[in-house]
Amino acid sequence: MLPLILVALAAFQPTPHFVALKWNVVTKDSAGHTLTGTVYYNVYRDISGTLKYAKLNPSPIPCAAYFDDTVVAGTSYDYQVTAFTVTGGESGFSNKSGDVLIP
């Protein structure tokens, strides 16, 4: 079964150098069963309004947080996250982070 779609993605502390992202840990699959094994995450970023999301992380993220240090000052971004397990597929996208303007 696929992991549940994530909720409560939020971006914190945008600076000219990074954005901190945090989300709820996924513990259940789409049928409500507790997931076994490690749940990993992928982070996707879009320059706000283009709807061209690109995966940021080169390898699976084993925790519910990520620091994007590839931001450009004066640019606005949207983020979304997916969850997956080794034995299952990738979930749908989380909620959008909302426009994050880099100062």
Q: What is the DSSP string of the chain?
A: -PBPPP---EEE---SS-EEEE-PPP-BBTTSPBP-S--EEEEEEEETTS---EE--SS-B-SSEEEE----TT-EEEEEEEEE-SSS-B---------EE--
CATH topology assigned to domain 1-95: Immunoglobulin-like (2.60.40)
Phi, psi at 97, each rounded to 5°:
-70, -20
Query: What's the confidence (pLDDT) of residue 69?
Result: 95
- pLDDT score of 1: 62
pLDDT tens per residue across span 55-89: 999 999 999 999 999 999 999 999 999 999 887 78
Q: With contact defined as beta carbons under 8 Å apart, do 58 and 66 qualify?
A: no
Predicted confidence (pLDDT) per residue in 1-34, tens digit: 677 777 789 998 788 889 999 999 988 888 888 8
pLDDT at 49: 82
